[in-house]
């Protein structure tokens, strides 16, 4: 009887199978240290101060101004007046899924075979030897979300990675980070499927496709609720009868459906929705869609028109992840403006600067700086410390990991970047990058990861 119970419990759990693909990331031990004489911006948008940060066992254990007492029994690293910030976080990347070299044989970012592919997981495409990972590290990126592409209405699950060299993607997975679901508005789904004379071929076709899938997900969720109820009743019967009276079969679980599991994960609030959506009017419609089915959109990505609806985003608690100045490369990006990010910030909404690019991810700080300066020229009150939150704290929030990283705070992961210049300067280079307290980049010490692909055929650059 006990055996049967275990079996049933196992079946019930398998409706969410994330536990089957666990992170094996285990940061190596490091000596405790205190980084002193740094210009520290903790990433809360509250300015900077000259101070110290102490780190032990991968975590920040103390932060103070230079006048405050600091641990004196650990290794001291003198930052020499350089700038210390939280590690940069990119909420929109395809590293590993669209690696370099970018041949067809390597192109694993978009399962563009059906408008609904919520069943695919980006992590199953990630090539950990992609040389773009170390390049991003040289831009101070410590954490990134790898998303499926945008050909589909539902592209699949994302994965959040620590930017470390590893033999396996499991070794990069951010422990405990929630999954994301990639959804896409607008031109891409309708173009990809419309060109095959298949639905969707219009924006209204896109919406019909979203709604149909969510209706299916609700039905699937109900099936499992019914099963779990029946299972509970069966257990109640079993324990109260002690197996003495007439025998009853336990209810059999519904067949698992990977596509539906992901969508139900959203409906349960366990999986975060990252919705590729350029146009303001479409974002507003997606917010209605989320209300119809009772889920929360975590962030709109590529939201080039977010500035038109900053109030709506703020009221609905949706982040906008944006480029600083990309526009014009497609019709739905034609109204892109440099002031976008700062205007979203000014409207009180959650603003994020993202890359969607293996080039852009190397300088998210510069992109944030551009957006900040454009806002300042428009007369908005955004400064460097606020701009920093666009690539640190706010990004962590959108990934559901803000309790662990994204700012420098006691108890959080020691994910930190030491910059050569103020981080909002084009001249700023990430000189030393710590991930969970471990130095992963140190230019002065000529320490940087080299992928297998690069080994023996590409010169190391520090």
Residues lying near another protein in the complex (CB under 8 A) are found at 100-103, 131-132, 135, 307-308, 310-311, 325-331, 333-339, 343, 346-347, 357-359, 362-363, 366-367, 369-370, 372-373, 377-380, 420-421, 424-429, 453-454, 457-459, 461
Q: Which is nearer to another protein, 247 or 427 (CB)?
A: 427
Helices (H) and strands (E) in the chain, counts: 11, 17
Q: Which is nearer to another protein, 249 or 459 (CB)?
A: 459
Kindly give, in sequence order, each residue whose CB lies less than 8 Å from that of residue 379, ignoring residues fewer than 6 positions away. Answer: none
Distance (Å, rounded) from C-alpha 127 to C-alpha 106? Answer: 9
CB of 139 to another protein, least distance (A): 10
Q: Which is nearer to another protein, 182 or 363 (CB)?
A: 363
CB of 83 to another protein, least distance (A): 14
CB of 390 to another protein, least distance (A): 14
Omega within 30 of 0 (cis) for the link into 65: no
Q: Which is nearer to another protein, 219 or 383 (CB)?
A: 383
Q: Which is nearer to another protein, 263 or 287 (CB)?
A: 287
CB of 338 to another protein, least distance (A): 7
CB of 377 to another protein, least distance (A): 6
- Scanning 1-129, the segments in alpha helix (DSSP H) are 2-13
Distance (Å, rounded) from C-alpha 91 to C-alpha 153? Answer: 19
CA distances from 12 to 36, 227, 277, 312, 374 (A): 51, 9, 35, 38, 52
Distance (Å, rounded) from C-alpha 12 to C-alpha 187? Answer: 39
Burial zone of 392 (CB within 10 Å; 0-12 exposed, 13-18 middle, 19+ buried): buried
| C-alpha torsion 78→80→83→88, nearest 10 | -40
CB of 200 to another protein, least distance (A): 18
CB of 216 to another protein, least distance (A): 32
Q: Which is nearer to another protein, 198 or 381 (CB)?
A: 381
Q: Which is nearer to another protein, 63 or 151 (CB)?
A: 151
Distance (Å, rounded) from C-alpha 168 to C-alpha 367? Answer: 30
Q: 393 phi and psi, to 5 degrees?
A: -60, -50
Q: Do 341 and 370 form a contact (C-beta atoms < 8 A)?
A: no
CB of 102 to another protein, least distance (A): 5
Q: Which is nearer to another protein, 128 or 180 (CB)?
A: 128
Q: Which is nearer to another protein, 236 or 331 (CB)?
A: 331
Distance (Å, rounded) from C-alpha 127 to C-alpha 141? Answer: 18
Residue found under tokens 């029994």: 73
Distance (Å, rounded) from C-alpha 400 to C-alpha 18? Answer: 16
CB of 5 to another protein, least distance (A): 54
Q: Do 340 and 313 form a contact (C-beta atoms < 8 A)?
A: no
Residue found under tokens 């666009």: 390
Distance (Å, rounded) from C-alpha 444 to C-alpha 433? Answer: 12
């Amino acid at each position: 009887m006990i055996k049967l119970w275990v079996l049933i419990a196992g079946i019930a759990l398998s409706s969410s199978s994330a536990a089957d693909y666990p992170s094996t990331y285990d940061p190596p031990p490091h000596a405790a240290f205190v980084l002193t004489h740094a210009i520290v911006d903790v990433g809360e948008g509250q300015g900077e101060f000259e101070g110290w940060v102490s780190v032990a066992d991968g975590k920040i254990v103390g932060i103070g101004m230079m006048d405050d007492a600091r641990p004196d029994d650990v290794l001291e690293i003198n930052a020499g007046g350089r700038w210390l910030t939280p590690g940069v976080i990119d909420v929109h990347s395809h590293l590993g899924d669209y690696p370099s070299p970018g041949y067809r044989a390597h192109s694993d970012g978009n399962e563009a075979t059906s408008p609904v592919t919520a069943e695919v997981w980006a992590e199953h495409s990630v090539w950990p030897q992609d040389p773009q990972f170390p390049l991003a590290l040289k831009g101070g990126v410590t954490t990134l979300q790898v998303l499926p592409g945008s050909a589909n209405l539902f592209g699949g699950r994302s994965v959040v990675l620590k930017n470390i060299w590893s033999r396996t993607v499991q070794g990069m997975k951010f422990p405990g980070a929630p999954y994301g679901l990639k959804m896409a508005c607008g031109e891409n789904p309708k173009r990809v499927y419309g060109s095959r004379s298949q639905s969707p071929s219009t924006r209204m076709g896109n919406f019909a496709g979203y709604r149909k899938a969510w209706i299916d997900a609700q039905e699937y969720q109900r099936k499992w609720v019914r099963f779990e109820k029946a299972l509970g009743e069966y257990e109640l019967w079993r324990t109260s009868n002690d197996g003495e009276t007439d025998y009853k079969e336990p209810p059999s679980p519904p067949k698992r459906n990977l596509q539906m599991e992901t969508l139900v994960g959203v409906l349960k609030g366990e999986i975060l929705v990252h919705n590729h959506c350029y146009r303001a009017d479409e974002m507003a419609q997606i917010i209605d869609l989320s209300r119809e089915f009772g889920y929360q959109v975590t962030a709109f990505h590529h939201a080039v028109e977010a500035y038109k609806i900053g109030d709506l985003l703020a009221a609905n608690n949706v982040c906008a992840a944006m480029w600083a100045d990309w526009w014009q490369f497609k019709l739905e990006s034609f109204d892109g403006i440099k002031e976008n990010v700062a205007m979203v910030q000014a409207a009180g909404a959650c603003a994020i600067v993202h890359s969607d690019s293996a080039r852009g991810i190397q300088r998210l700080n510069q992109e944030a700086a551009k957006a900040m300066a454009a806002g300042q020229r428009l007369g908005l009150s955004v400064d460097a410390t606020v701009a920093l939150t666009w690539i640190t704290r706010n990004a962590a929030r959108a990934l559901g990991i803000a309790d662990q990283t994204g700012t420098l705070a006691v108890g959080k992961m020691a994910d930190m970047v030491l910059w050569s210049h103020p981080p909002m300067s084009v001249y700023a280079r990430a000189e030393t990058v710590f991930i969970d307290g471990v130095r992963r980049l140190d230019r002065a010490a000529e320490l940087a990861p080299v992928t297998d692909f690069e080994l023996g055929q590409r010169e190391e650059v520090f």
